[in-house]
Structure 1
Amino acid sequence: MFSHCPSPLAKAPHSIVLCLFLVLILAPPARTQENFATYPPLPAGYSTIKVFDRQGRFVGRILPEKRYWVPIERIPPFLQKAVVAVEDARFYEHGGIDVRGIARALVKDVVKRRLAEGGSTITQQLIKNRHLSGEKSIERKIDEARLAIEYERRYSKKQILEMYFNEIYYGNGAWGIAQAARLYFDKNPEELTDAECALLAGVPKNPGAYNPLGKPAKVALRRDVVLKRMVEVKAISPRQREAVRATRATVTPPGQAPYYLAHIRNKLIERYGAGIVEQGGLEVTAAMDLNLQKLAEKTVREGVTGISPELQGALVCLDPTTGDLLAAVGGTDFTKSPYNRAFVAKRQPGSAIKPLIYAAALEKGVTASSIWDDTPVTYNRGNNAAWKPQNYGREQYGELTLRQALAYSNNVITVKVLDTIGVPSFVDFAGKMGLPLRSPNDLSLALGTDEVTLHDLVQAYTPLANGGLRAESRTIIRVYEHNRRAWSENPTTVSPALSPAAAFVTTRMLKDVLTYGTAKSLRKFSQEHPAAGKTGTTDDYRDAWFIGYTPQVITGIWVGYDKPKPGGKGFTGGGIAAPIWERFMRTALAAAPAMDFTKPDTVVSVTIDPTTGYLANGECPEQRDEFYIAGTEPTEYCAKHGGAPVNPPPQPLAHPNGNEQQPDTDAED
């Protein structure tokens, strides 16, 4: 149809205007279309979900994902006038294309020997957003003009303007006036003030630079251009312009804590159904501490990217008494990757699973001073398959106490402990602690081969810090429903998971991890703030974990690659995750008084010879206080060193091991 039009290489203003004139003459008859609204109508009185932290500080909003259609009657007249003035002053006069405006733009195109976007009418902009690509070519301009004329024949000016407001892009993911008003001002379109309308009218020209969250100087300058143009076309008076300029438009700040808000969103859907996000009308008080949340985000971002920009990390911080989720970070940068590694990603925890195995053993009568040998043993895995677990560096240390085996993260002994208590029994125990595991009779569970989320693993540690009580993780404290004008509370849920005595003895064992074990770099911290914890490293250094706690706070760290790959020697829980944990915890506990874990009445302390596990005689060269669940403590004195059966004052050892060879705790766990 347009084959007679000159090619771009031979273009001239008069020839292109002639082509556009032919478009006007030869355009096909208009088709009828009754309904031009392509999205559901915006509900009346709609409001977003607002989230506040535990102290009432505003955190952010949970926005719906759907687009809504706003009828022209709900779009402020001031905004309509502003857009027409600044984008297409002759909108009510032309028939879809402004030939004079196009001619002026094309002259500039020929002079500069390039195609620009000048001269487009509101109708053409609508066509470009709805139907065409952003390609700059004569062919696209002709298609745009033809469709614009067709639209003008098919729809009224009022309908075209309505379509424009609902289709145009306003930056930051907001398409249409409904999303823009909600995103930038947390309002419905009809609630917008003149000052807010002036800002929004300037956005379509350059959504990236002129949106209300852009640089204030640029945004204000664009607003002034809008107001100046409105005065020029007599849409407002100079006095009105000054009044609008003097009125402050308060822009709603972007949401903080995006990973945490994403988790709240999922919790609300679980509670109210999938439609709640679109329905809105809630005010949520989260268990979050906003200060700790900001600290957590900064710590993960700086701590992980400081090692490698490709690495990812996650952090979960709970109050062990209430289960309140104080902070949660699912990655280094939500804008680049919203995948929530704190709650969704499942990875092998490695040795970070071991404290649960040892706690289960204590519940069955095993003691912290019991002696175990780490000589490897071969196990039958069925189908004529044999498995011979080894320590991380394939070293052997002979006899170790259960306490030492946990501090040094001895693999062979842990497998033997799991074999003693039984895999099914341990799986049941882990479930009570809050950690779902597979049920197959597989001793490799001792080495953390079953995949878990960081959140679930941290929650499973809460009974150890909370006297045996499992506090269910709580994300939302209460919700105010505007429709019902009522609050609904979400109380804490606490249930017994293991005995207070077993929790305390396990914790005392885990304190050694931070003093002479696989996280001994945290020794100074643990002297300032009594703490317990466990490192975790998976095969080939793919995942690094550290879960640690004080009586006030429990925090877990995971670091690794989204697509698992070796991090190299030294990529361990003690070397990578523990320092990040310390950085967070030092600031988190800076204003908190130092507290130690409370010993329950069901725990007794006696002085033993750690090389034998019996009560110490006066002649025993090595002695230490050891904790026992009442009734499991030794009753016989050490006969190895002779001497009178006298129980001397406790003399804690700097290195409580009775072996000539000290395990290497610097690199592996």
Structure 2
Amino acid sequence: MIKKLLIACMFLFFLLSLAAAGFLVWGYYYITRDLPQLSSIEDYRPDAVSSVYSRDGTLIAEFFEERRYPVKLKDVPDFVEEAFIAAEDASFYEHPGIDLISIIRAMIENFRAGRVKQGGSTITQQVVKNLLLTPEKKYKRKIKEAILSYRLEQRFSKDDILEMYLNQIFFGNTAYGVKAAAKLYFHKDLNELTLGEAAMLAGLPKAPTRYSPILNFEIAKRRQHYVLSQMVKARFITEEAAKEAEKQEIKVYKASYNNIYDAPYFVAELRKELKEKWPEFDIDRDGLKIYTTVDLTANHLVEAALKRGLRAIDKRRGWRGPAGFIADADLDRFIEQYRNKIPETIYPEQIYPALVTGRRSGRLFVTTGYHSGIVDVAAAEWAHRKVDSAGRVVWIKPDRVIRVGDIVEVSLPKKNVPRELKGEGVSREFSGQLRFQLDQTPELEGAVVMLDPHSGEVLAMVGGYDYRRSKFNRATQGMRQPGSAFKPIVYLAAIDRFGYTPSTIVYDMPRTFRVGDTVWEPGNFDDTFLGPITLRSALEKSRNLVSADIISKIGVDAAIQYARKLGIKSPLGENLSLSLGSSEVTLLELTRAYGVFAAGGVLFDTVLTREIIDRDGNIIYDAEKDKLKRAKQVVDENSAFIMANMMKGVVQHGTGYRARVLKRPIAAKTGTSNNMMDAWFIGYTPDLAAGVWVGFDQKKRIGEKETGGRAAAPIWVDFMGKYFNYRDKVEYEKLLKEAKAESERLGIDFTPPEKLEPLDFKVPDGVDPYWVNRHTGTLTDKDDPDGIFEYFRKGTEPPAATATSSATDYLESPDL
């Protein structure tokens, strides 16, 4: 009986064992049937930040979805590795991927809590969770995690797994990976970290928000203590070292969510270009190094000049009055209301809102929230002209209009910065009275582009007064009427194809043009007429009637064809008013078109990117190697030179006279659209082209007499003058250094090199110079007081005497 019972029990045990084995096999199959393949991480390449650099190598922007800077384990200091191992998985180098003791401990804790509270995960399991599985806390997922962790350990080395972990984990403060964490929390590279900082970082992955030293410094310090004690326990460091590390001062920084650090309009345009030209790259994930064309010195000069220029024009329009009012001049309410506009440190020439707290004898007592000062309103003569939103002007005395409690805008002139601060910013610790001036932020907008006409490289691009105020790039997206700035294209067509020369006599006289059933009667800006003049004089004086007459003779299609040759792609109206700039274009394309004159008739594609390097160090794009493909001879070099030589006259004798102050060869043209809604100035030298546009986003009159010559040209002169001086100084210092090295090498006395002379436009072989009379266009000699040195294509020089027949022929035009 006992024997039978024993046999039955053994048989039952066998059946149960078989069933259990079957269940385990089924369970293993069920669990592993949809496990991710480890091959997906064999070539582990985490998302990485793409870095953008200016032409001198300065970091100006970063593109990313996850802010990560991958690092090799060999470049991570040993004590940093050890801090993470001690904090997260002390037996990392001993277990096969899972730590059974930790798992059992976690299961007991979870059972007591009645929910999944603790994971007990090893570093390997955390890698699996982050790279292969979801972070959900369920037993099924934990089993998958354990299986995959074991398999991962069979395929990868411990160092490989640790490297994946240190690069993948999230630290809070926008940081992914240990290198980003060091950079963002401490503004340090990994090899600059202290033991205390490393321990604080190692404590973050478990709960980045809870243990954040930015949000909860005391809790972060307790977590740091735990990590250091674990390092002592693991014999990575001594107790003395741990105590010293805890005493170390920790300074942490909150990461900025801003990813553009300089030249924002340029960077935004660059990002669009990268996506359009290289769609195969994911610039937010691929960890590229992108070297650009932007010259930060030029861009900074442009930004400052545009701000100064727009403020000056805005002041000529008039004062708009107080920006607001706070009853009882309540300082707390003011700070709360203007919190984002009143920094604790203020800088010269920047505009800030200020609360009027008192007034006496033409002076205002104001506070910017953290700084108090005085404003001499009587000195702000521009503010006596008050303009309302409809543009109506009344004359006032601002010191009688401004009340206590009003909000006005002020700035701190550089000359008024306290001497002890040496012209730097004024922090809130400064307790003295500052001497502010009344100011106002212009509503007016503007844009500037500077490029190298011999490569198409954009050196500077500023698309508005302030990128924080408006991200709309008026240099590339703003479609506006160029007015007379379009005329050089019409003149080019006449010279290049239709036999005109700088001395061709044209007639600045009232004319009526019939186009079908309609009549067009253009006029000149000054409502005067000069009669018979040379083509050069017509361009210098920007005579509308001449441009209209030329296009009526050569045909609108010819003008459009030449605009296309020069790279203008915007829609152009097929009408005679095109000659006066009635069709809208962008600043960039018109500046690029002028660059063709400087480049001897060669058009280059616009270039923002000089070089792209992938994360492995391979050069995947080089603009220099692509340069010849981007160059196209679109206009005869002789015609291009003749246009440049004529347009120099616009500066020397015409509407662009303000640029004469720079005392170097400059060719340019002003432009003003109907009712003075747009003001343009586009100028170029033999090696630079730059354009300025000024106007309102919602089209309206800029102001009385605010032409291209008055509103836009001073901005151009401001930044170009400073940039010329900077560049000349750099070039001369380079020449000086070379001369000194040469004298030392030859053992001779050093002689400083001569001052560099500005380049003039190169004269091509296909033109000949002649002395001609400025007024008649006929040949003369150098003794003629009205004689000028003019260039003509070979065989097109004018006659020695006035040819009346040519003038008669010119006036005979078809009835259009």
> TM-score, structure 1 length as denominator?
0.66
> Against the structure 1 CA distance between its residues 370 and 485, is the aligned structure 2 distance closer, same or farther, given a 3 Å change threshold?
closer
Quote the Cα distance in structure 2 between the aligned partners of 1:182 and 1:276. 25
* Aligned-pair CA distance for 1:547: 0.8
1:365 corresponds in structure 2 to: 499
Corresponding residue SS for 1:518: coil
Quote the Cα distance in structure 2 between the aligned partners of 1:327 and 1:603. 33
* Aligned-pair CA distance for 1:396: 2.0
Quote the Cα distance in structure 2 between the aligned partners of 1:426 and 1:584. 32
1:494 corresponds in structure 2 to: 631
> Against the structure 1 CA distance between its residues 249 and 182, is the aligned structure 2 distance closer, same or farther, given a 3 Å change threshold?
closer
2:264 corresponds in structure 1 to: 258
For CA contacts below 8 A with separation 6 or more, give which structure has more relative contact order.
1
Whether contact under 8 Å (1:296, 1:584) holds in the other structure is yes
Whether contact under 8 Å (1:464, 1:506) holds in the other structure is yes
Whether contact under 8 Å (1:287, 1:477) holds in the other structure is yes
Q: Indicate whether 1:544 and 2:676 are aligned.
A: no
Corresponding residue SS for 2:653: coil
1:608 corresponds in structure 2 to: 772
Quote the Cα distance in structure 1 between the aligned partners of 2:613 and 2:782. 66
Q: Indicate whether 1:292 and 2:429 are aligned.
A: no
1:122 corresponds in structure 2 to: none
Choose the corresponding residue for 1:584, options 719, 722, 727.
719
What percentage of aligned pairs have identical amino acids? 31
Whether contact under 8 Å (2:310, 2:445) holds in the other structure is yes
1:281 corresponds in structure 2 to: 287
Q: Indicate whether 1:515 and 2:660 are aligned.
A: no
* Aligned-pair CA distance for 1:203: 9.8
Quote the Cα distance in structure 2 between the aligned partners of 1:205 and 1:349. 58
Choose the corresponding residue for 2:511, options 367, 370, 377.
377
Q: Indicate whether 1:407 and 2:571 are aligned.
A: no
Corresponding residue SS for 2:467: coil
Question: Which amino acid letter does the alignment assign opposite residue 579 of structure 1?
Answer: P
CA-based RMSD: 4.8
Q: Deviations over 1:226-285 (max 9, x none)?
A: 326754999888954753746888989962222111122112111221761233221112
* Aligned-pair CA distance for 1:506: 1.0
Q: Indicate whether 1:226 and 2:220 are aligned.
A: yes
Question: Which amino acid letter does the alignment assign opposite residue 565 of structure 1?
Answer: K
1:572 corresponds in structure 2 to: 707
Q: Indicate whether 1:599 and 2:763 are aligned.
A: yes
Question: Which amino acid letter does the alignment assign opposite residue 457 of structure 2?
Answer: D
Corresponding residue SS for 1:294: helix
* Aligned-pair CA distance for 1:303: 3.0
Equivalence map 1:183-332=2 (5 Å): 184=184, 195=197, 198=200, 226-227=220-221, 230-231=224-225, 240=242, 243=245, 245=248, 255-273=261-279, 276-308=282-314, 309=441, 310-332=443-465
* Aligned-pair CA distance for 1:532: 0.9
Whether contact under 8 Å (2:487, 2:579) holds in the other structure is yes
Corresponding residue SS for 1:292: helix
1:53 corresponds in structure 2 to: 54
> Against the structure 1 CA distance between its residues 639 and 394, is the aligned structure 2 distance closer, same or farther, given a 3 Å change threshold?
closer
* Aligned-pair CA distance for 1:440: 4.5
Name stretches of at least 5 consecutive residues in structure 1 with no aligned partner.
1-40, 69-75, 83-93, 96-150, 160-164, 212-221, 641-669
Q: Deviations over 1:547-571 (max 9, x none)?
A: 1111121111112222222111132
Q: Deviations over 1:180-202 (max 9, x none)?
A: 85994799xx9997838958979
Quote the Cα distance in structure 1 between the aligned partners of 2:672 and 2:601. 26
1:535 corresponds in structure 2 to: 670
Whether contact under 8 Å (1:351, 1:448) holds in the other structure is yes
Corresponding residue SS for 2:670: strand
Q: Indicate whether 1:341 and 2:474 are aligned.
A: yes
1:123 corresponds in structure 2 to: none
Question: Which amino acid letter does the alignment assign opposite residue 58 of structure 1?
Answer: T
Corresponding residue SS for 1:515: helix
Whether contact under 8 Å (1:300, 1:314) holds in the other structure is yes
Quote the Cα distance in structure 2 between the aligned partners of 1:327 and 1:261. 11
Quote the Cα distance in structure 2 between the aligned partners of 1:265 and 1:182. 27
Q: Deviations over 1:14-69 (max 9, x none)?
A: xxxxxxxxxxxxxxxxxxxxxxxxxxx9x9522111122233x122333235899x
Quote the Cα distance in structure 2 between the aligned partners of 1:512 and 1:77. 73
1:22 corresponds in structure 2 to: none
Q: Deviations over 1:596-646 (max 9, x none)?
A: 111112111212233322223799773322221222111333489xxxxxx
Corresponding residue SS for 1:540: helix
Corresponding residue SS for 2:641: helix
Q: Indicate whether 1:459 and 2:453 are aligned.
A: no
Select between 294-303 and 417-426 the one with higher mean Cα deviation: 294-303
Select between 312-321 and 236-245 the one with higher mean Cα deviation: 236-245
Choose the corresponding residue for 1:427, options 556, 560, 563.
560
Question: Which amino acid letter does the alignment assign opposite residue 50 of structure 2?
Answer: I
Quote the Cα distance in structure 1 between the aligned partners of 2:803 and 2:500. 21
> Against the structure 1 CA distance between its residues 495 and 156, is the aligned structure 2 distance closer, same or farther, given a 3 Å change threshold?
closer
Quote the Cα distance in structure 1 between the aligned partners of 2:487 and 2:570. 13
Question: Which amino acid letter does the alignment assign opposite residue 388 of structure 1?
Answer: E
* Aligned-pair CA distance for 1:461: 0.9
Quote the Cα distance in structure 2 between the aligned partners of 1:535 and 1:206. 61
Q: How many residues matched?
A: 516
Quote the Cα distance in structure 1 between the aligned partners of 2:600 and 2:760. 12
Quote the Cα distance in structure 1 between the aligned partners of 2:286 and 2:227. 40
Choose the corresponding residue for 2:642, options 505, 508, 515.
505
Whether contact under 8 Å (1:259, 1:338) holds in the other structure is yes
Select between 246-255 and 404-413 the one with higher mean Cα deviation: 246-255
Quote the Cα distance in structure 1 between the aligned partners of 2:186 and 2:621. 24
Select between 244-253 and 581-590 the one with higher mean Cα deviation: 244-253
Choose the corresponding residue for 1:625, options 789, 802, 810.
789
Question: Which amino acid letter does the alignment assign opposite residue 410 of structure 1?
Answer: R
Corresponding residue SS for 1:580: helix
> Against the structure 1 CA distance between its residues 610 and 336, is the aligned structure 2 distance closer, same or farther, given a 3 Å change threshold?
closer
Q: Deviations over 1:68-106 (max 9, x none)?
A: 9xxxxxxx9989999xxxxxxxxxxx99xxxxxxxxxxx
Quote the Cα distance in structure 2 between the aligned partners of 1:167 and 1:564. 48
Quote the Cα distance in structure 1 between the aligned partners of 2:612 and 2:541. 46
Quote the Cα distance in structure 2 between the aligned partners of 1:577 and 1:59. 31
Choose the corresponding residue for 2:519, options 368, 375, 386.
386
Question: Which amino acid letter does the alignment assign opposite residue 53 of structure 2?
Answer: F
Whether contact under 8 Å (1:354, 1:414) holds in the other structure is yes
> Against the structure 1 CA distance between its residues 345 and 181, is the aligned structure 2 distance closer, same or farther, given a 3 Å change threshold?
farther
> Against the structure 1 CA distance between its residues 327 and 198, is the aligned structure 2 distance closer, same or farther, given a 3 Å change threshold?
farther
Name stretches of at least 5 consecutive residues in structure 2 with no aligned partner.
1-40, 69-80, 88-108, 111-135, 146-167, 231-238, 315-440, 729-755, 805-816
Question: Which amino acid letter does the alignment assign opposite residue 331 of structure 1?
Answer: G
* Aligned-pair CA distance for 1:385: 2.3
Corresponding residue SS for 1:409: coil
Quote the Cα distance in structure 1 between the aligned partners of 2:445 and 2:240. 55
Question: Which amino acid letter does the alignment assign opposite residue 787 of structure 2?
Answer: Q
Question: Which amino acid letter does the alignment assign opposite residue 777 of structure 2?
Answer: G
Quote the Cα distance in structure 1 between the aligned partners of 2:585 and 2:211. 45
> Against the structure 1 CA distance between its residues 338 and 440, is the aligned structure 2 distance closer, same or farther, given a 3 Å change threshold?
closer
The structure with the larger Rg is: 2
Quote the Cα distance in structure 1 between the aligned partners of 2:67 and 2:581. 45
